[in-house]
Amino acid sequence: MIEVLQSLIPTVLFFSAPLIFTALGGVFSERSGVVNIGLEGLMVMGAFVGIVFNLTFADVFGSWTPWISIFVAAIIGAIFSIIHAIASVSFNANQVVSGVAINMLALGIGVYLTKQWYGKGQTDMVTEPFFRTDIPLLADIPFIGPIFFQGIYSTSYVAILFAFIAWYVLYKTPFGLRLRAVGEHPMAADTNGINVYKMRYIAVILSGAFGGLGGSVFALTIVSNFSHSTIVGQGFMALAAVIFGKWHPLGAMGAALFFGFAQSLSVIGGNIPLLESVPQVFLLIAPYVLTILALAGFIGRADAPRANGEPYIKGSR
Amino acid sequence: MTKSNKLFTILIPIISVLLGLIAGAIIMLFSGYNPILGYTALWNGAFGDAFTIGETVRRITPLLLTGLAVAFAFRTGLFNIGAEGQVIVGWLAAVWVGLAVDAPMVIHLPLAILASLAAGALWGFIPGLLKAKLGVHEVIVTIMMNYIALYSVNEIVRSVLTEQETTTDAIAPTASLASEWLQGLTYFSRMHYGIVIALFAAAVMWFIIQRTTAGYELKAVGFNQHASKYAGMNVSKNIILSMVISGAFAGLAGAMEGLGTYGTISIMSGFTNLGFDGIAVALLGANNAFGVVLAAILFGVLKEGAGQMPTGAGVPTELVDIIIALIIFFVASSYIIRWVLLRFKKEGK
């Protein structure tokens, strides 16, 4: 039993971390009333920047390279997401359409530049990815240590920490209250002197930063290079986690952990007695089926923020 | 007012396409390529000789149908991002019938096409039903349905249609859309009769929307659900119907690939992108059957021509994806184009 947990839990955390980061971005954006289908594209951008930075500066920064890479990826992701913000907040574009365009644009730019800079469709493997480590002190705790803190990617714990920070920011600070107000009833918020446009810009840019983090963490822990097939659907799965988690940071984290669990089952399920007989395809589609069921109200009703997806036009009712 | 609105619906796509192409040229310049050489290569890749023209037509065929699918749902105020999944299940259903049934062509081919329509319709029915009865947003459900389609169809190809192979056998010739005549005309390109079906589908969409009571109701629900309900229309029924018809169009696009271009179905590592490109086609075509035909031709030409750009000018094919994405942005942000145009008009006076 302990052996199963020892192989399962690090794998779950490993698969969940990028989803948690990206889903947090989705929570910020959607809580402010901007639908973000573009999470996939933001992850692509993050993965691309993370890998390219890592390849270019591995000699300069040594073992710090992966950390600096994800930081840079977050910044570029934030800048890239401004396009979505301009289109959907300032130009009143259909937010779903803009998100779809973000996805196409990110993949187009990423692969275009990869081909131009590296002369082929995919980059080399990075030399400084994240490595599994033991967390000092905690790894020595009997029983819990080996399961949770040995042979783990520290990014997984950073992701969980960020989820709690996001919860605190959204629910315990004036900024969070304003952000949520803008997503529920922008006109009322505006009447109270909150700058709706500014709040939405900040929220979308935050989602870009988190999406960039998620994408780069995915690239630097799981795949180690960038090509057109580095990010295939993780962004949409993060979006599913946002909804399954009922637009709540901790809920989204829980959902992301659960989806990570489903993914790791399809990877190491063969070693677990009861599950080896379940065809892999059911584990693959489980996150998506569950999201639909959650939305349909079979697993607790998921209600979107009131003004989600509606452009705010001053003076209109 | 209506006259200027009509003008805008024609002007905005044209301006967006021009801006997109200009942006593409600028990107080529900045990354050290010759834009004229690049666009010449693109043109040759799409219209260079009879073969490339045949391939371009083949490329346009499914895009036209997914464009119609997205546009049709849009008319009822629904966003069908699920065209992707509907294409995949339609493809599977058509090939399945093509492999499993033994019948003369007059029965076999229509049966295979019907199967693709039914499969796509079913994949559209589920999000339609959830939207109509439980108010669940169709965007999320259709995205999830895409992945369910992708993984399930892969599993069926692997375990049911073949024994752990990646590609099925070719379908029976009696279910094939391939045409020796068209291939002969175009130096053995993969052009097939599907384009006739696709154009017919566009006419069907125009007829349903503009000339039938059902189409009138669908549009009315798209404009204002509450008013439609007050006028005695069954809003739920119309939402479901719209998604079903939309799904059927997308399923048909799958049949074009399965019965026409490839004659098989393979395990897919990712999406076909036909559904996502269909969103771009519908948007540029202003959700109007005729506009969709034009937009599908444009995007088909861009996508097929892109294949020639690496050899002809050294430009990566992804440039075209960037251009298409930018065109979508420009159309979606038409608010600002409209504003600029109005401003110029005022100053002109």
End-to-end CA distance of chain B: 16
CA-to-CA dists, residue A76 to A272, A275, B58, B175, angstroms: 41, 41, 38, 50
Domain A2-295, CATH 1.10.3470 — does that match? yes
Q: Residue B11 falls within a domain, yes or no?
A: no
Q: Residue B55 falls within a domain, yes or no?
A: no
Look-up of token digits 């993969």: B190
- Mean local confidence (pLDDT), B104-125: 96
Q: Assess whether pLDDT exceeds 50 at residue B1.
A: no
Q: Assess whether pLDDT exceeds 70 at residue B300.
A: yes
Q: Residue B281 falls within a domain, yes or no?
A: yes
Q: Residue B41 falls within a domain, yes or no?
A: no
> Does residue A212 sit in helix, strand or coil?
helix
pLDDT digit string, tens, across residues A158-214: 999 999 999 999 999 999 999 999 999 999 999 999 999 999 999 999 999 999 999
Cα dihedral A116, A119, A122, A125, rounded to 10, equals -110
- Mean local confidence (pLDDT), B136-164: 91
pLDDT digit string, tens, across residues A8-52: 888 888 889 999 999 999 999 999 999 999 999 999 999 999 999
B220 confidence band (pLDDT: 50, 70, 90): very high
Interface pTM (ipTM) of the complex? 0.88
- Mean local confidence (pLDDT), B70-80: 92
Domain span at B224: 62-299
**What Rg do the C-alpha atoms of chain A give, in angstroms?**
20
Chain B residues in contact with A288 (beta carbon < 8 A): 144-145, 147-148
CA-to-CA distance for A80 and B235, rounded, in angstroms? 39
CB contact under 8 A, B141 and A285: no
Nearest by CB to A104, which of B147, B148, B325?
B325
Q: Assess whether pLDDT exceeds 80 at residue A277.
A: no
pLDDT (0 to 100) of residue A271? 64
Domain ranges of chain A: 2-295
- Decide which of A283 and A66 is more confident: A66
Task: Give the distance, in angstroms, between the CA of residue B91 and the centroid of all CA atoms in the same chain.
Answer: 14
In chain A, whose CA is at the least distance from the CA of B130?
A: A296
- CB-based contact (8 Å) between A232 and chain B? yes
pLDDT digit string, tens, across residues B250-266: 999 999 999 999 999 99
pLDDT digit string, tens, across residues A121-136: 889 898 888 888 777 7
- Mean local confidence (pLDDT), B161-168: 91
- Indicate the range of A1-10, B217-226, B293-302 predicted with least confidence: A1-10
Q: Residue B44 falls within a domain, yes or no?
A: no
Q: Residue B275 falls within a domain, yes or no?
A: yes
**Selected residue of B318, B324, B335, B340 to mutate for chain A interface (largest A Cβ count, 10 A):** B318
Domain count, chain B: 1
pLDDT digit string, tens, across residues A84-96: 999 999 888 888 8
C-alpha dihedral sign at A227, A229, A230, A231: positive
CA-to-CA distance for B114 and B175, rounded, in angstroms? 12
Q: Residue B10 falls within a domain, yes or no?
A: no
pLDDT digit string, tens, across residues A207-249: 999 999 999 999 999 888 999 888 888 898 898 889 888 899 9
pLDDT (0 to 100) of residue A128? 84
pLDDT (0 to 100) of residue A273? 66
- Mean local confidence (pLDDT), B66-90: 94
- CB-based contact (8 Å) between A79 and chain B? no
- Mean local confidence (pLDDT), B31-57: 93
Name the token pair of A193: 């002197």
CA-to-CA distance for A204 and A37, rounded, in angstroms? 12
Q: Residue B256 falls within a domain, yes or no?
A: yes
